[in-house]
Amino acid sequence: MLNIVIFGPPGAGKGTQSQLLIDQFNLIHLSTGDILRGEIAQGTELGIKAKSIMDRGDLVPDEVVIGMIRSILEKNPNAKGFIFDGFPRTTVQAESLDQMLNELNTSISTMLSLDVDVDELTKRLLERGKSSGRADDANESIIRNRIKEYNKKTAPLKKFYAKQNKLQSITGVGSVDSIYTKICEAIDQIK
């Protein structure tokens, strides 16, 4: 199986690159942000609880997102692989993911970390906010909070995967295609 963690701060291009990867490698895309927004759109209890947290740019509780991932993994026993986009975001989530994959006799193949500086991220998110309709893209102080949460709770996961020799850092600036080429080269390294 090819199990990829696509990693990076909000606005790094994880979703865009994930789309290209799932088409080429036939992977199942697991974006916790997309799943949560789906819950909000459907007005579920989970969605109602998550909305105010997401609108502030904070992280939803670990057990909520871990439960969502567990249920999708269980429903796809014959998958060729998964691409984890926006998950894990904390050490607890990363440890749970290792454990869940271990139970399925598989593991993370690589973490592809997209590096983009703060000014560029803010610019991209504000631009995306004009059309995404996302409250958390529309306001600069919320964007700053999301980046702060990332630096505090999520960025340390690079060390977590580096210890397992799985971290590959990629510059996330340039054309979509040029970044995707670097991603494919990184995947070739592990094959």
Closest distance of CB 88 from ligand AMP, Å: 6
Give strand pairing partners of 5: 84, 111
Helix axis angle, 45-56 to 140-149, nearest 10°? 100
- Contact yes or no for 22/29 (Cβ under 8 A): yes
SS3 (DSSP) at 30: strand
Instruction: Pick the stretch among 30-38, 112-120, 124-132, 177-185 that binds ligand AMP (CB under 6 A).
Output: 30-38
Is the Cβ of residue 20 or residue 53 nearer to ligand AMP in the bound state? 53
Taking contact as CB under 6 A, which single stretch among the options 28-36, 98-106, 113-121, 163-171 is the one that binds ligand AMP? 28-36
Residue written as token pair 């494919």: 184
Which x/- pattern, by CB under 6 A, does the window 54-93 give for ligand AMP? x--xxxx----x--------------------xx-x---x
Question: Is residue 128 annotated as a catalytic residue, yes or no?
Answer: yes
Query: Helix count (H) and strand count (E) of the chain?
Result: 10, 5
Residue 124 interacting with ligand AMP (CB under 6 A): no
Selection from 97, 87, 89 nearest residue 32 by Cα? 87
Give the whole-angstrom CA distance, residue 54 versus residue 60: 7
The footprint of ligand AMP (CB under 6 A) covers 10, 32-33, 36, 53-54, 57-60, 65, 86-87, 89, 93, 136, 146
Residues serving a catalytic function are 14, 89, 128, 134, 146
